[in-house]
Amino acid sequence: MPAGRTELPGSERLAPEHPRVGDVDATEESFVTVYLRQSPGSEGLSWVDGEAGRPAAQRRRLSRDELARAAGADPADVEAVTRLAADNGLRVDNVDVARRRLEVHGPLGALAAAFGTQLGLHRAPDGTVYRARQGSLTVPADVAPAIAGVFGLDLRPQGRPRFRLLAGAAATSYTPPQVAALYRFPTGVDVSGQTIGLIELGGGYRQSDIDSYFSALGVTPPVVTSVSVDGGTNSPSNPSGPDGEVALDIEVAGAVAPGVKIVVYFAPNTDQGFLDAVSAAVHDATNRPSAVSISWGGPESTWTSQAMDQMESTLTAAAAAGVTVCVAAGDSGSSDGVGDGHAHVDFPASAPHALGCGGTTLEGSGTAISSEVVWNDQPSGGATGGGVSAVFALPSYQATAHVPPSANPGGGAGRGVPDVAGNADPQTGYQVLVDGQSMVVGGTSAVAPLWAGLTALINASLGTQVGFLQPRIYGAGTGAAFHDITSGTNGAYSAGPGWDACTGLGSPDGAALLRLL
């Protein structure tokens, strides 16, 4: 390492799993996102968890302006990164003190030199070529304290959509309103003042699908708009690909909360795009979503420490602003799709300020549930994610939830995933319309927008934003507002009375949850 430089903690990247096929063009113009530390002189957000345990109407809430003052960046840190950029022939754009975010633009060669790394091109099995790096980033020692993370040099895919297409015939299937009725969601609620944000890392939607789908349901359609983040766009192309995720999210959230506004934040599928999309949604002072749904994720082991820390920081800001962030817990059981024989949990569902959403197999008629167990169609199909985080400590709200030690050898305590659950089995899946094709879809991808829709209904009913739910719902216990799921397994973990690492506290009793909150 050159004299006067230091490593950025948490920036280490493992070697890409795909072969290197060449060098990057050093003259190609690009940009990186730099997230800064919270201003040392600011109030901070340490009070968030205590406030979340209070009744919704009594909680302290921060406006976006107040959030900037409480937890924004120090202008001196912006200046430090601006000097680093100038010293390397780069420029700084799009400075956002509230989000503690700025962009550094310029040639790839200069960007790599500024942050002390080398870049190469790698080819995935599907033919996609992406750039990547290995090892840690370095910066001048006097700049390092200002920087929380640097993203965009490495563009390997970061998230996978958590939906499952039905293979063969469904045992049964439901429209989203039928699922909402089984879970006793509030009805007759005017949600026209509520906005749900959806995070999408690919694919797109067609307005013709939205018009046809909601017309057939006889349900007031959502007003859907899109926001481009880091060049991501609404680009529908393949019903069995990410389009299925986008349609599922819009149609589930919009159908269980008729008339809600939906804003879809499209971003590239990289850690930079993922982080920037969530940050854009949480800090969106124009659309002001009160709930955000994330149906993408990846095993904790595939993320850098700085990326996980930055995501959790953004989710903590969401909690301070009264925004509920619902995240799919994964569709590959307790392994989360990692083939090392160990248990893994999905991130960002494992972030302490995310509402992790697991999956069940739901059977019922009308408003009566006849059976509900852990979703597990393995080995030929999917299963709900869930387990114990290897990264995040046991949060205070789970202190009495009896979260077990990790199922891995020598595994210790950690954040338990998921928090809540809902119907996810493709065999009892959701009827959706994707690129003009009717199909049945499942996965925990359906559970995140289901909970976001329920949150919008509750917010509208109460006339306030319930925000960060965990301290309230864990404090009340499983029986207060949930159907306790006590049968089934996701591999390494089994369901049982109370919280478990398959379905969390259980599936919602919407009417009871409204009373609780």
Residue found by looking up tokens 């302006």 in the block: 65
What's the per-residue H, E or C state across 464-491? CCCCCCHHHHHHHCHHHHEECCCCCECC
| 507 in catalytic set | no
Q: Are 32 and 104 in contact (CB under 8 A)?
A: yes
Q: Are 104 and 92 in contact (CB under 8 A)?
A: yes
Termini Cα distance of the chain: 54
Grouping H, G, I as helix, E, B as strand and the rest as coil, residue 355 is: strand
**Residue 371: is it exposed, middle or buried by C-beta count within 10 angstroms (0-12/13-18/19+)?**
exposed
User: What one-letter code names the amino acid at 295?
Assistant: S
Q: How far is CA 369 from CA 164, 185, 229, 372, 503, in A?
A: 23, 13, 41, 7, 16
> Which residue is catalytic, options 445, 484, 500, 509?
445
Q: How far is CA 212 from CA 205, 219, 276, in A?
A: 12, 11, 32
> Which residue is catalytic, options 49, 103, 249, 425?
249
C-alpha 337/C-alpha 357 separation (Å) is 17
Q: Are 393 and 414 in contact (CB under 8 A)?
A: yes
Nearest to 433 by CA among 167, 199, 259, 255: 255
Nearest to 325 by CA among 311, 344, 341, 307: 311
| 249 in catalytic set | yes
β-strand 387-388 against 346-347: which pairing, if any?
Answer: unpaired
Q: Are 90 and 111 in contact (CB under 8 A)?
A: yes
Residues in the chain: 517
Cβ neighbours for 458, distance < 8 A, ≥ 6 positions apart: 186, 466, 510, 513, 514, 517
Give the helix/strand (H/E) hosting 511. helix 510-516
Grouping H, G, I as helix, E, B as strand and the rest as coil, residue 255 is: helix
Give the helix/strand (H/E) hosting 108. helix 108-114
User: What one-letter code names the amino acid at 242?
Assistant: P
> Which residue is catalytic, options 49, 74, 230, 245?
245
| 245 in catalytic set | yes
C-alpha 278/C-alpha 267 separation (Å) is 10
Q: Are 276 and 34 in contact (CB under 8 A)?
A: no
Give the helix/strand (H/E) hosting 104. strand 101-107
Residues that are catalytic:
245, 249, 445
